[in-house]
Structure 1
Amino acid sequence: MEELNFKPCACTAKAEPEQISIAPELPISGKKLWLAMGAALICWYAIYSQLLGFSKFAAFDLMGLTPGSHLGEAIQFFIYDTPKVLMLLVLAVFGIGVIRSYVTVEWTRKVLAGRRESAGNVLAALLGVVTPFCSCSAVPLFIGFVAGGVPLGVTFSFLISAPMVNEVALIMLYGLMGWKVAALYFITGITIAVVAGWVIGRLKMEKHVESWVKLANAGNGGPASGMTVEGRIKFGLDSVRDIVGKVWLYVVMGIAAGAAIHGYVPQDMMASIMGREAWWAVPASVLLGIPMYTNAAGVIPIVDALLGKGAALGTVLAFMMSVIALSFPEMVILRKVLKPRLIAVFVGVVACGILIVGYIFNMII
Structure 2
Amino acid sequence: MFDWIQNLADWTVYDVLELDKGAHLSEALNFFIYDTIKILLLLFVIIFIMGIVNSYFPIDKVKNYLSRNKLYGLEYLMASLFGVVTPFCSCSSVPLFIGFVRGGIPLGVTFAFLITSPLVNEVAIGLFIGLFGLKTTLIYVASGILLGTISGFILQKFKLDKYLTPWVKEILANAQKEQDAFIADKKSLKDRLPVIWDEVKTILKGVIPYVVVGIAIGGLMHGYIPEGFFEKYMAKDNIFAVPIATILAVPMYSNASGILPVAQVLVAKGIPLGTAIAFMMGVVGLSLPEAMLLKKVMSLKLIAIFFSVVTLCIIISGYLFNILL
What is the TM-score with the length of structure 1 in the denominator?
0.56
Match runs of 1:295-306 below 5 Å: 295-306=255-266
Cα drift, residue 346 of structure 1: 0.4
- CA, structure 1 residues 178+12, in 2 after alignment: closer, same or farther (shift >3 Å)? farther
Contact persistence 2:80–2:112 (CA under 8 A): yes
Give the letter aligned to residue 38 of structure 2. Answer: A
1:191 paired residue number: 146
* 2:301 matches 1:341: yes
1:314 is aligned, of 255, 274, 290, to 274
Establish whether residue 290 from structure 1 lines up as the match of residue 319 from structure 2.
Answer: no
The AA in structure 1 aligned to 2:167 is W
Per-residue deviation, 1:274: 2.9
Please, which of 130, 140, 146 is the counterpart of residue 101 of structure 2?
146
Asked if 1:325 corresponds to 2:280, the answer is no
Distance 1:156 1:140 in 2: 13
SS at match of 2:162: helix
User: 1:158 and 2:113 equivalent?
Assistant: yes
Give the whole-Å Cα distance in 2 for the aligned partners of 1:315 and 1:335.
29
Q: How many residues align?
A: 235
Equivalent-residue separation in structure 2 for 1:288 and 1:123 (angstroms): 31
- Structure 2 Cα separation of the partners of residues 273 and 135 of structure 1: 25
Match of 1:10 in 2: 38
Structure 2: give runs of 5+ residues left out of the alignment: 1-35, 176-214
Work out the CA distance in 1 between the residues paired with 2:93 and 2:323. Answer: 34
The one-letter amino acid paired with 2:142 is I
1:110 to partner: Cα distance: 8.4
1:276–1:362 Cα contact (<8 Å) kept: no
Over 3 Å counting, the alpha-carbon distance change for 1:362 and 1:11 in structure 2 is: same
Alignment of 1:239-318 (within 5 A): 274-318=234-278
Look up the SS of the partner of 1:291 in the other structure. Answer: coil
Identify if the C-alpha distance between structure 1 residues 206 and 306 changes in structure 2 by more than 3 Å, giving closer, same or farther: same
CA distance in 1, matches of 2:122, 2:141: 9
Match of 1:355 in 2: 315
Contact 1:138 1:333 in 2 (8 A): no
Q: How far apart, in 2, do the equivalents of 1:161 and 1:12 lie? A: 21
* TM-superposition CA deviations, 1:80-112 (whole Å, max 9, x none): xxxxxxxxxxxxxxxxxxxxxxxx9959x9899
With the length of structure 2 as denominator, give the TM-score of the two structures: 0.62
Q: Which amino acid aligns with 1:321?
A: M
SS in 2 for 1:278: coil
| Partner residue, 1:136 | 91
Residue aligning to 1:206 = 161
- In the alignment, what sits opposite 1:119? 74
**Which residue type is aligned with residue 16 of structure 1?**
V
CA contact (8 A) 2:84 2:120 kept: yes
Aligned equivalents of 1:299, 1:110: Cα separation in 2: 39
Question: Which has the larger Rg?
Answer: 1
- Going from structure 1 to structure 2, the CA distance change for 1:361 and 1:275 (only over 3 Å counts) comes to farther
For 2:235 and 2:254, the matched residues in 1 are separated by: 24
What is the deviation of 1:148?
Answer: 0.6
**Cα 1:129–1:341, aligned 2, differ >3 Å: closer, same or farther?**
same
Conserved? CA contact 1:196–1:353, under 8 Å: yes
Query: Distance between the aligned counterparts of 2:299 and 2:117, measured in 1?
Result: 21
Contact 1:146–1:152 under 8 Å retained in 2? yes
Segment drifting more, 117-126 vs 194-203:
117-126
Tell me the equivalent position of 2:137.
Answer: 182
Contact 1:257–1:302, Cα closer than 8 Å, also in 2:
no
* SS of match in other structure, 1:212: helix
Match in the other structure for 2:206: none
Residue 16 of structure 1 aligns to a residue whose secondary structure is helix
- Checking the alignment, whether the CA contact within 8 Å between 2:90 and 2:255 is kept in structure 1 is no
Structure 1: state its 5+ residue gaps: 1-7, 21-103, 220-245
In the alignment, which residue of structure 2 is the partner of 1:169?
124
Conserved? CA contact 1:143–1:216, under 8 Å: no
Quote the Cα distance in structure 1 between the aligned partners of 2:268 and 2:95: 39
- Aligned CA RMSD, in angstroms, stands at 3.8
One-letter code aligned to 1:192: L
Partner of 2:180: none
d(CA) in 1 for partners of 2:102, 2:72: 16
